[in-house]
A and B are shown apart, each in its own frame.
Chain A
């Protein structure tokens, strides 16, 4: 009996000794690094474009066309910015009627187009006129692939304007609403 107990004690001690490194590994430290001084912030000096009544298959531009809104980088972080559009919905019953936002800035029946142009951009976009389609997929606002610009630093500004192309056909007498989102992330 004594022999059996001694054997068990030895085996237990060995097991404890051998499992110590494994236990130590299980309680490793999780490191969270927060770049605490960095604040990301952008400001738009305009958020509304009350157009009033519009007609079908017609192009509307903000006034002034390309210096309508100013984006200013605040905080203390350099940023890359993006733009995202959405369908325009009937305010009274959003699920009942909408204009679909086109994928290329063109229009169609109940399909409308949106484009933006940044002041100073003269050749950007599919038509090479500086106007870039706004779609339902988040795409580069500034900087952009193929462009010579770099990330925006605190204090930098970008002026831009919008162009709307109404559908070739739509149901009249309905108030429509949409939203364009300008986003930013630390560069």
Chain B
């Protein structure tokens, strides 16, 4: 019994959880605008760019990092599907330092691959902005990014239209050719 108590005492010795930090800041306070971005009619193969503004309301400078996050279905706007691939979203910089009581912009680029399978979709993903910190509590703010691509029907029917036009042109060309040839033939 005594051995057990000693062992427990040893295990418990000098363990510190949640590293105490001696920085004066005991608060985290920042904002991001806009809170929501909608991109409509983005065609497969197309690119769209917009800016996020980070407002550092603290009395000290902070480094902010950016990530994309897939929200669960119940948190997405109605009719929105999960964004297929985070690599289609890029930030002008993975992190940015914002001075005390000031603001800075980061450019976000959304690029959709050329494949027609990405046409006619309504997606949602969240762009996370977090202040780097070693404190126990951290804050992350999400911007809703809603992306809608141009309808698929146009792209698919275009192929048929182009084929039909090509055939019609060939036929018309032949017709015109034979008409003139016949006309030019001596009686």
Chain A contacts to B: CB under 8 angstroms: 2-4, 6-8, 10-11, 14-15, 18-19, 22, 25-26, 28-56, 69, 74-75, 77, 80, 88, 91, 145, 164, 166, 169-186
Contacts and interface: CB of A to CB of B under 8 A. Distances in A.
Given A33-B39, A41-B57, A48-B20, 15 more contacts: A11-B169, A14-B172, A30-B46, A32-B50, A35-B37, A47-B28, A47-B133, A47-B138, A51-B18, A53-B16, A56-B11, A175-B16, A180-B137, A182-B137, A186-B144
Interface of B: 8, 10-21, 25-43, 46, 48, 50, 55, 57, 71, 74-75, 126, 128, 130, 133-144, 150, 154, 158, 161-162, 165-166, 168-170, 172-174, 176-177, 180-181, 184
Nearest to B19: A177
14 contacts: A22-B158, A30-B42, A39-B33, A41-B141, A47-B138, A48-B18, A48-B20, A48-B137, A50-B18, A56-B12, A173-B14, A174-B15, A178-B17, A183-B139
Contacts of A80: 75
Contacts of B158: 22, 25
Given A3-B181, A10-B172, A30 B41 contact: yes
B22 to A, nearest CB: 9
A175 B15 contact: yes
Contacts of B74: 145
Contacts, number: 247
Most buried by A among B13, B25, B31, B48: B31
B12 A54 contact: yes
A6 B14 CA distance: 96
A115 to B, nearest CB: 14
B40 A4 contact: no
Contacts of A15: 165-166, 169
A39 B169 contact: no
Given A3-B181, A25-B158, A39 B15 contact: no
A44 B137 contact: yes
A77 B10 CA distance: 51
Given A7-B176, A176-B17, A39 B133 contact: no
B128 A177 contact: no
A179 B57 contact: no
A80 B144 CA distance: 12
Contacts of B28: 43-44, 47
Contacts of A31: 38-41
Given A44-B28, A50-B20, A30 B12 contact: no
A38 B13 CA distance: 50
Contact of B134 (A8, A166, A177, A185): A177
Contact of A33 (B27, B38, B170, B174): B38
Contact of B29 (A14, A74, A169): A74
B33 A36 contact: yes
B136 A43 contact: no
B15 A169 contact: no
Contact of B141 (A3, A40, A52, A179): A40
A178 B136 contact: yes
A48 B25 CA distance: 10
A97 B27 CA distance: 29
